[in-house]
Structure 1
Amino acid sequence: MAGTRGRDLVKTFISERVQRRWARAARAARKVDLASLRKQRIQARDLRTHLNELIYVADERLALPAIGSTQFRKPQGADWGWRPALWRGPLPVPGMSSVKNKSELGEEVKLFHDCAFSELTLRQLRNTREADLAPYGLRMDVFKFDGSFLSLVVELPPESVQGLQRRHLLRMDTIVEMEKPLEIFARLNIKHGPNTEQIVRELPLHAEDVMVEFDLAYTKLNEKRVEKAWLDLIFEGPDMNQVVLRDLTFSRRPRAEL
């Protein structure tokens, strides 16, 4: 204990000496000879590189919420829940401009459109608000839009359809911010054998908690042949708008027996 405390005191003393040295150099910068100033500039730039890297990483790790967080509010009785990787952690390529049709952002999210000339941008954002549970969000900027459709497709993991039955309710929760009002529809697609079941719901964007549920009881789902599922977020009239999806989560639960 005493040894650790002593080392900490030495580190503090050295840090304070370094700070005082650079404070003196900064005050004398207008009067020092040019040869000395040139040498100090090189040293300061090298030091700044390391300091900027430290500050960037520290801001990233210390900001709320924690990177990799899978925490979110699931409905009672849920037997599966999931937040896509784009909203959990940093992507190798955080954004793109003039986004082409079928462009991928991460492994699970893909953008579809039929614009002749793309004026769309996608960018992953770091969520720092205390109210946010998702570490990251997705911002989509739409400038001139000359297409007839724009949709964001999210591939659901294999776990989402393991043991999937018609008695299940599949739920999607999101946090949406927009520059101006527009309509957003969520279409659930479930492939079973040669057929694909589709259920469409309009997002209640006027509500505080944006949530839709898909009741599989109203489908002709062949429970023995379910292969995969994906969800389309369809944006109607996106021209000259910015949409931010602060979070996107999925869960499922069996319907209560009557």
Structure 2
Amino acid sequence: MAKRFQALIEGALQRRYLRQWARVARLAERQDAATLKAYRSRARQLRRQLDKVIHIAEGRLTLPLIGSNAFRRPMGSDWGYRPQLWRGPLGRPGMAAVETRATFGDEITVFHDCAVSELTLRQIRNTREADLAPFGLRMDVFRFDGSFLSLAIDLPPDAAAGLTRRHLVRVETIIELEKPLEIFARLNVRHGPNTEQIVRELPLHEQDVFVDFDLAYTNLNEKRVDRVWLDLIFEGPEMNQIILRDLALSRRPRAEL
């Protein structure tokens, strides 16, 4: 009952406030300069707060919902993960002239050897019907005088927990390119002083872009696995816009032969 009464009061106050500003708008043409300055100042303060509310509401109510970790996982998967950048808003949504070893969020580190960086990164909101990830990553590369560009994506400790040579690790992504280029995914598994690395080229020409890493062909010491991370390596990225709409990882035990 109290909430209903409060809603009625708030509704009445809002209607009154709207009528006041409608009257100000009607009379604005006939007001003197001093009065107009006062109204302009008040209107700007109000607009800042309204824009903030609209921005937050659109971000939270636009599909897919923020925080979503929903994605297709192969049958039998015992672990799955969508990194932070594709799941929720970052505190710093964009970077320009990105230097090597710069971090973007808590999980992504950029590596390159450019003398002058003309690379920008920006987190974008996904709104397409086909998107499952709430956010995406847009990378704009202009002049590129280096020999390599990669993104290192740290994975949480549970990616390493229970990882064995029987596992297949899948990386699935949605990528848009301004012009064609080659992108390689490298899975890194550290076990003690050693690191196993498996490299696969992403099949960008196919409808479903994913690769599987088979750990059976590694020399993995299962008892000493302590860290897993993924590198995305971009070949010839100059003058290109690359949008990673989604990135998700999963693992499953391989079938017994």
TM over 0.5: yes
2:194 matched to 1:190? no
* 1:24-173 to 2 correspondences below 5 Å: 24-173=23-172
Whole-angstrom CA distance in 1 between matches of 2:49 and 2:115: 45
Whole-angstrom CA distance in 1 between matches of 2:15 and 2:4: 17
Other structure's SS at 2:29 match: coil
Query: What is the deviation of 1:17?
Result: 2.4
Query: What is the deviation of 1:26?
Result: 0.9
Cα displacement string for residues 189-230 of structure 1 (whole angstroms, at most 9, x for unaligned residues): 111222221111110101121110001111111112222111
Whole-angstrom CA distance in 2 between matches of 1:25 and 1:184: 57
Other structure's SS at 1:23 match: helix
Query: What is the deviation of 1:6?
Result: 4.8
Whole-angstrom CA distance in 2 between matches of 1:200 and 1:4: 59
Whole-angstrom CA distance in 1 between matches of 2:147 and 2:35: 64
Whole-angstrom CA distance in 2 between matches of 1:122 and 1:248: 16
Structure 1: state its 5+ residue gaps. Answer: none
Query: What is the deviation of 1:71?
Result: 1.4
Whole-angstrom CA distance in 1 between matches of 2:217 and 2:48: 59
Query: What is the deviation of 1:13?
Result: 3.1
Whole-angstrom CA distance in 2 between matches of 1:168 and 1:4: 54
AA at the equivalent of 2:49: H
Q: With the length of structure 2 as denominator, give the TM-score of the two structures.
A: 0.95
* Matched residue, 1:218: 217
Whole-angstrom CA distance in 2 between matches of 1:250 and 1:162: 15
Aligned Cα RMSD in Å?
1.5
Structure 2: state its 5+ residue gaps. Answer: none
Quick one: percent identity of the two aligned structures? Answer: 64
Whole-angstrom CA distance in 1 between matches of 2:95 and 2:124: 12
Whole-angstrom CA distance in 2 between matches of 1:85 and 1:59: 20
AA at the equivalent of 1:136: F
Whole-angstrom CA distance in 2 between matches of 1:98 and 1:5: 53
AA at the equivalent of 2:74: P
Query: What is the deviation of 1:15?
Result: 1.9
Whole-angstrom CA distance in 1 between matches of 2:41 and 2:178: 45
Indicate the larger mover: 99-108 or 9-18: 9-18
AA at the equivalent of 1:201: R
Cα displacement string for residues 11-70 of structure 1 (whole angstroms, at most 9, x for unaligned residues): 333322222221121121111233322322222122212211111111111111111111
AA at the equivalent of 2:21: W
Other structure's SS at 2:30 match: coil
Cα displacement string for residues 121-142 of structure 1 (whole angstroms, at most 9, x for unaligned residues): 1111111223211111111110
Whole-angstrom CA distance in 1 between matches of 2:163 and 2:7: 57
2:225 matched to 1:230? no
Whole-angstrom CA distance in 2 between matches of 1:121 and 1:244: 12
AA at the equivalent of 2:242: V
AA at the equivalent of 1:120: L
Q: With the length of structure 1 as denominator, give the TM-score of the two structures.
A: 0.94
